[in-house]
Structure 1
């Protein structure tokens, strides 16, 4: 494996213990992945923020990093924390858990993570450009960055993303290589997508059948203002039922254009409405959850304005909504209910 002069010095500890540890972890991961080198990145996104994810051992690890002098070297964001951190849920958790959750957040901020982040939509804070190398550890953000923005990131683990944030580098493998971003199969959705609910159900369904990098042909009969939310829901659902980091959507993905005349030679999978409808019906309940990944207030307002009749048809009684921390103050005007549907904000 090739290392530059600075990387060699960092690995040998010339720039401090924390950077040495980060380089040591990254080099070992690179060797396991047979990566030939590291690649510089501009943005890292860390997962494993909830106390229920990392526990006491995770806190000890973070505290050790601080003792070693850990600081991020690039712009870094983080995933949401546990709801135990929110005032409205404090009575549901012990004071000990709340204190530990606060400690995790405080440590991450002290290391250099943007205090306004703690969201699963980091691209809303700083939007990557085509070809930009990232180290993101959040499946919905990864597939969005690769598929919609044309940026390059693998599905990092929480620890490797944090190590990458400190070192400013990650392994030059997987989605960072152009040859790994080619479609391996064609998926044709035989009916138009008309709602966020349909897009989510289709994404979940495709995640169960996809085996590689799919080239997807689909039509959306959606209000233009809602298309981005629909795409985000579709991709997040697909990523939750598969390990797929990238899909090439015809007419949407920046890199899809290269394969318009080539995808026909690939194995074709057709998605029928009846299959998705059966799958969708099996999941129906009177409770609907929006905001995974997070939605902002403008998107929420648009969804509620355009979907109230659909919510009534689906007999939704309660609506849970997750919004980013930086949008919390704007949420007050939406507290309460919407035409008989209770709204709970997380």
Structure 2
């Protein structure tokens, strides 16, 4: 890679050991991917959940913090593996909690904004179109690239915090124009879209695309940001989709031909039947087997999604033989409380959890064998993470399953 004199100095240790380590990692990854240079970033989003990083993650982040590392750009952090306020209620072992606390201390020492959210674009970290950023969290990457039109790869752990400390990232992958061109065209033949359909469309697109860039035709122009959030999270989980274009909807597809004048490699039709088939494929539980826990909030709920659940829950309470867990950011929880949405739901038996989610927290300690969710990402990830069966259903059925009339 071609480095500036300043970058060479950082690599030689002139700015301290933390900067040297971070620059060493950036240059090593850049050279392995054939990057020619480093480029400046406007923000970063990092991982710091013990469930994925384990002791190695603690050691690396603590080493950077102990050696004086500080983020040079605004940097947010993905959800924790525990709810810091309710960890005992959710049966988190004390030693597990202590390890997550060490990660929290390290990232705070590094100057990370303690957002603990997989949806940084909904608070604290909102990039602009065309800005280069360095984000981890596959669903946030898909949203930033696709819905906002910012530029980031699926930044892995280690590279994420290194980019934050230096304020730069190797220029390769989706930072380059030529790598943002669509490969596959998905044509939707669907009359009416439900919220669940956006999750399911994402799962189909991700499964068929792999790491290729899909272009989608037929999404309504009035699609909401939450629906796009859910589509992207599913595509990023069922495949490795980091960028998708939607004709007449997403910014890059509105500015120019997403195929850059070329024909798509393949045209794939998605029908209503395909959606139902994928729903059945995602669900791996036996029909009519007892559901022990219902979970909503993957990605973490927005205020609008919380309001929808509140409206559907009127006149209902959670059944005695089932748990109903909802995940959201602390900011959404606090705002929901001010709006009068939280307290009635808690009185009805709903358990709220903030700054974490079911896919990265140790849900397996509860011994559940069958859970239900309205999230394709949760349904796709949870069986392998927690060794349990999942039913994938829409929000209405999730609520009906978990609750009964007052």
TM-score, normalisation: structure 2:
0.76
How many Å apart are 1:45 and its aligned residue?
0.4
Equivalent residue number for residue 243 of structure 1: 240
SS at match of 2:205: helix
Deviations 1:76-121 (A, max 9, x none): 0000101253415456122222222122112101110012x11011
Equivalent residue number for residue 36 of structure 1: 36
Between Structure 1 and Structure 2, the one with more helix by share is: 1
Equivalent residue number for residue 57 of structure 1: 56
**Which consecutive unaligned segments of at least 5 residues does structure 1 have?**
312-316
Q: Give RMSD over aligned pairs.
A: 2.8
Equivalent residue number for residue 119 of structure 1: 117
Cα pair 1:336 1:342 within 8 Å, conserved: no
SS at match of 2:103: helix
Alignment of 1:219-230 (within 5 A): 219-220=219-220, 227-230=224-227
Structure 1 320/204 Cα, relative in aligned 2: closer, same or farther at 3 Å? farther
Match of 1:345 among 347, 352, 361: 352
Q: Which moved more, 1:102-111 or 1:287-296?
A: 287-296
Structure 1 304/230 Cα, relative in aligned 2: closer, same or farther at 3 Å? farther
Equivalent residue number for residue 253 of structure 2: 256
Structure 1 209/176 Cα, relative in aligned 2: closer, same or farther at 3 Å? same
TM-score, normalisation: structure 1:
0.88
Q: Which moved more, 1:65-74 or 1:137-146?
A: 65-74
Rounded to whole Å, the distance in 2 between the matches of 1:62 and 1:12 is 21
SS at match of 1:216: strand
Structure 1 102/88 Cα, relative in aligned 2: closer, same or farther at 3 Å? closer
Cα pair 1:84 1:97 within 8 Å, conserved: no
Rounded to whole Å, the distance in 2 between the matches of 1:143 and 1:261 is 18
SS at match of 2:45: strand
SS at match of 2:241: coil
Equivalent residue number for residue 335 of structure 2: 330
Deviations 1:5-55 (A, max 9, x none): 2111111111111101100000000010001111100101001x2222222
Whether 1:4 aligns to 2:4 is: yes
Cα pair 1:183 1:263 within 8 Å, conserved: no
**Which consecutive unaligned segments of at least 5 residues does structure 2 have?**
286-290, 317-321, 354-406
Equivalent residue number for residue 132 of structure 2: 133
Rounded to whole Å, the distance in 1 between the matches of 2:348 and 2:238 is 29
How many Å apart are 1:272 and its aligned residue?
1.8
Structure 1 341/147 Cα, relative in aligned 2: closer, same or farther at 3 Å? farther
Whether 1:294 aligns to 2:300 is: yes
SS at match of 1:83: coil
Structure 1 60/262 Cα, relative in aligned 2: closer, same or farther at 3 Å? closer
Structure 1 41/279 Cα, relative in aligned 2: closer, same or farther at 3 Å? same
Equivalent residue number for residue 366 of structure 2: none
